[in-house]
Chains A and B, each alone.
Chain A
Amino acid sequence: MDTSEDILQQGSPDLVRGSETRRAAKSARLSPSFISWLQAGPMMLVFLAFFLIPLVFVVIVSFWDYNEYQLLPAFSGRGYTDTFEGCIAQLPDLCTIAKTYLKTLKLCFLVWAITLFIGFWVAYFLAFHVKSKTWQMGLSLLCTIPFWTSNVIRMIAWIPLLGRNGLVNSGLMKTGLINQPVEWLLFSEFSVVLALVHLFTFFMVVPIFNSMIRIDKSLIEAAYDAGASGLQTLVNVIIPLAKPGIVIGSIFVITIVMGDFITIGVMGGQQIAAAGKIIETRVNALQFPAAAANAVILLVITFLIITMMSRIVDIKKEL
């Protein structure tokens, strides 16, 4: 099949073709590895300038000292020692940072488990039950609806629904199921998990769907012909082949939830501790080194989780 470039070539005058050939002779001397470096170059530079270098600064600043109004560029472990304050002295009670991370991990686990469950089945439905490509596209676009409004508006919208005098409570009261409004619907761990699941299930659906759509349908037919039940096909064929999607989706959800402080803040009534919130409070008080130290700790913990997950599935190999 002719590519568009070939068509262009065929239509171009001989003059151009001559100069192209000279260039071709020149570039033939470039080694393939050099070409791949060039290809990766722009992305690498963006990565370097906007991710790695800032990250190095964060690590450096996390070891600086500070006062009320400025950073003091002298080595100090204060950002870290302050963060782990009381972690040994207060035993068996947990210190602030341990409590905060336990809470964050708990929320993270709940959100991960629920988004994985919902996301898997939505993707399964899209990949195996919806036959037409158009419908698949249309329905996956529907999953983006939560992203059509801004973060703040999405949050505020929960109050009339889940609030003390909200729709859910007044509905339940009318049916006589409860006599008093249920308080834990809003500004609680429940509402935090609900909002996060609502937001991030999409990040599970897309990669899992992407993995599933690439499963060769004849494999499923073969499983059926070999006498496998629906459940056996699911467990032995589909889940193993969808694993890369599951892991990529999990990485999305876990990294976002670990660092989130806006959703947890608004939906938790600012009363639920989060790793990201500690950083925010520190930054707002102009205590940048302490904030940087907390950011490094968060990074290390998230990195550990991701490493453990990629132990389970070798993404590079699977892709």
Chain B
Amino acid sequence: MTDTTKKTGVSRRTLLKGTAGLAGLAAGSGAITGFPYVMSAEPKVLRYLGTAVNEGDDISKQCLKDTGIKIEYITATTDDVTKRVMTQPNSFDVLDTEYFSLKKLVPSGNILALDAKKIKEFDNITPVFTKGETPGGKKIGGQGTAPWKVLYLEGKDSKTFSKTATEFVTLIPTVYNADTLGIRPDLIKRPISSWSELLNPEFKGKASILNIPSIGIMDAAMVVEATGKYKYADKGNMTKEEIDLTMKVMTEAKKAGQFRAFWKDFNESVNLMASGETVIQSMWSPAVTKVRSMGIACTFQPLKEGYRSWASGFCVSKGVSGAKLDWAYEFVNWFLSGYAGAYLNRQGYYSAVLSTAKANMEPYEWAYWMEGKPAEKDIKAPDGSLLEKAGAVRDGGSYEDRMGGVACWNAVMDENDYMVRKWNEFIAA
């Protein structure tokens, strides 16, 4: 090896080092601004942020067919949806979220209320949302963040909820349900009729609740009230003393080994129940259906103290305007026009506009899901799989009975910060 080759070798390497350093510098300083984004000829695309509840390939395919709007789902958990609206309001167009998060979303100014006059079916939306009663006239319990308390704003850019109807709607209602405890009747072998059973020592190590603090504490409050220990003015908006009392009951139960596990995700709840790890737990209707479709007995048990309900709807990001806003209205109008409503009803949820959903369902389906009548034929899921054999009756019965039996709604409390701290204390106990 000669001296020269050695030297040039070094120099080449030095050069490489230098370029790499410069490239790094350029990237770090932001001199490279990324690849250009090419807009193609006006495809109607809406970025749809929401939880998995309303989202389905069938819905987006049908929507594309009917309206030419392409839906791009951004799926997240309830908490993450809220987080995203707060921190990245420009990362989505249409927002599908729950009413209880409005207490956080509306003051942030990151969402835009929709105009009721531009929603064709607005007047046909179930009175559950507008008046707080069922179509049959039953009054619905209003504890917590009931949708009719936060449905309207005082003005277009107002951050105050209006007590009377206005044209500025925070969330155009889409889907809702009444939640209760799911049980394994084959393992419990006796009738269950009260929320208090959740903390019954008989089910020690076999109970579970939802690991979302704001919802978990409401289930706990239902239990506390059912045992007669305390009567809350509003379970969805507790005072500090009430939070302490509720968490004390829960902590004692946890220390005694009452809970097998807490769940946060749909599939977790299905797994716990199906494997027999739990026999009684708070649950969602389609999760109960899923367990049953695995051939395992599971009941979405109606309880005498009533249901804990939730509801969600559509609004748009504050950044949406012009043609995109028109598409958003077109999409929301399409969503309420029946196909999606029928799809949701067939999963055990309820659609906001009942008349259009009914028109898209077979009479026997409507009779089973909505009227609480025994199924005339086998009941099938939207994907065609068998859910119930002919003759089965829906747990809890009809729409009137289930929605009429709602006691409280998912909520964010004024003392949310304190409650979250107490929840961490509860987990550490």
Give the interface of A toward B (CB within 8 A).
Answer: 2-3, 5-6, 9-10, 17, 20-21, 23-24, 27, 30, 35, 38-39, 41-42, 45-46, 48-49, 68-70, 82, 85, 96, 99-100, 103, 156, 159-160, 163-166, 183, 186-187, 269-273, 277-278, 281-287
- Asked if B263 and A41 make an inter-chain contact with CB atoms under 8 angstroms apart, the answer reads no
Which residues of B in the span 118-134 have a Cβ within 8 Å of any Cβ on A? none
Assess whether B105 is in contact with A186, with CB atoms less than 8 Å apart: no
Main secondary structure of the interface of B (DSSP, over half): helix
Are A30 and B14 in contact, CB atoms less than 8 angstroms apart?
yes
Question: In the complex, which residues of chain B have a beta carbon less than 8 angstroms from the beta carbon of A27?
Answer: 10-11, 14-15, 18
Q: Is the CB of B86 within 8 A of A159?
A: no
Closest CB in chain A relative to B269 CB, distance in Å: 12
Chain B interface, number of residues (Cβ within 8 angstroms): 58
Contact present for A24 and B213 (CB under 8 Å): no
Q: How far is the CB of B219 from chain A (nearest CB, A)?
A: 14
Q: Which residues of A contact B271 (CB under 8 A)?
A: 156, 159
Q: In the bound complex, what is the Cα–Cα distance between A5 and B16 (angstroms)? A: 13
Which residues of chain B (177-214) have a CB below 8 Å from chain A?
A: 205, 211-213
Q: Is residue B164 within 8 Å, beta carbon to beta carbon, of the partner chain?
A: no
CB of B255 to closest CB in A, whole Å: 10
> What 5 pairs across the A-B complex have the smallest Cβ distances?
A269-B261, A42-B24, A24-B11, A273-B428, A270-B262
- B21 near A69 with CB under 8 A, answer no
Given that A45-B25, A69-B107 are contacting pairs, would A23 and B277 also be in contact in the complex, using a CB cutoff of 8 Å? no
With the chains together, A273 CA to B82 CA distance in Å?
24
Residue of A nearest to B20 (CB): A42
Asked whether B7 lies within 8 Å of A187 as measured between CB atoms, the reply is no
A164 to B267, CA, bound (A): 18
Contacting pair A38 B83 (CB below 8 A): no
Whether A186 lies near B277 (C-beta < 8 A) is yes
**Interface pair B5/A286, CB less than 8 Å apart:** no
26 contacts between A and B (CB under 8 A): A5-B12, A6-B1, A9-B8, A10-B5, A21-B11, A24-B11, A27-B10, A27-B11, A38-B18, A45-B27, A68-B103, A69-B107, A85-B421, A99-B429, A100-B424, A156-B267, A159-B271, A163-B276, A163-B277, A164-B276, A165-B275, A269-B262, A271-B254, A271-B261, A281-B423, A285-B79
Question: In the complex, are the beta carbons of B424 and A49 less than 8 A apart?
Answer: no
Judged by a CB distance under 8 angstroms, whether B108 is at the interface is: yes
Q: Is the CB of B28 within 8 A of A69?
A: no
Partner of B86, one of A273, A278, A286: A286
Report how far A74 CA is from B219 CA in the complex, Å: 36
CB atoms of B261 and A183 under 8 A apart: no
Question: What residues on A are CB-neighbors of B277 within 8 Å?
Answer: 159, 163-164, 186-187
A5 in contact with B17 (CB, 8 Å): no
Q: Is B162 an interface residue (CB 8 A)?
A: no
Partner of A35, one of B14, B79, B108: B14
Taking CB atoms, residues of chain B closer than 8 Å to A41 are 20-21, 24-25
- B104 contacts A286, CB within 8 Å? yes
Q: In chain A, what residue has the closest Cβ to B103?
A: A68
Residues of A within 8 A of B295 (CB): none
Interface contacts beyond A68-B107, A269-B260, A285-B417: sample of 10 additional A-B pairs, CB < 8 Å, sorted by A: A6-B1, A21-B8, A23-B15, A41-B24, A42-B23, A68-B417, A69-B104, A270-B263, A281-B420, A287-B420
CA distance A82 to B421 in the complex (A): 8
Q: Which among A23, A271, A273 has the greatest number of chain B C-beta atoms within 10 A?
A: A271
Q: Is the CB of A20 within 8 A of B11?
A: yes
CB-CB nearest in chain A for B23: A42
Q: Tell whether B264 is near chain A: CB-to-CB under 8 Å.
A: yes
CB distance from A263 to the nearest CB of B (A): 14
Shortest C-beta distance, B427 to chain A (Å), equals 5
Q: Please indicate the chain A residues that have their CB under 8 angstroms from the CB of B58 in the complex.
A: none
A21 with B262: in contact, given A27-B14, A271-B427, A281-B424 (CB under 8 Å)? Answer: no
Say how far B209's CB is from chain A's closest CB, in angstroms. 10
- Interface residue B40 (Cβ < 8 Å from any Cβ of A): no
* A164 near B17: Cβ-Cβ < 8 Å: no
Q: B105, A69: Cβ atoms under 8 Å? A: yes
Contact of B428 with A45 in the complex, beta carbons under 8 Å: no
Contact of A96 among B4, B82, B425 (CB under 8 A): B425
In the bound complex, residues from chain B placing their C-beta under 8 Å from that of A45 are 24-25, 27-28
Complex CA gap A162/B383 in Å reads: 33
Taking a contact as CB atoms closer than 8 A, the residue among A49, A96, A286 that contacts B83 in the complex is A286
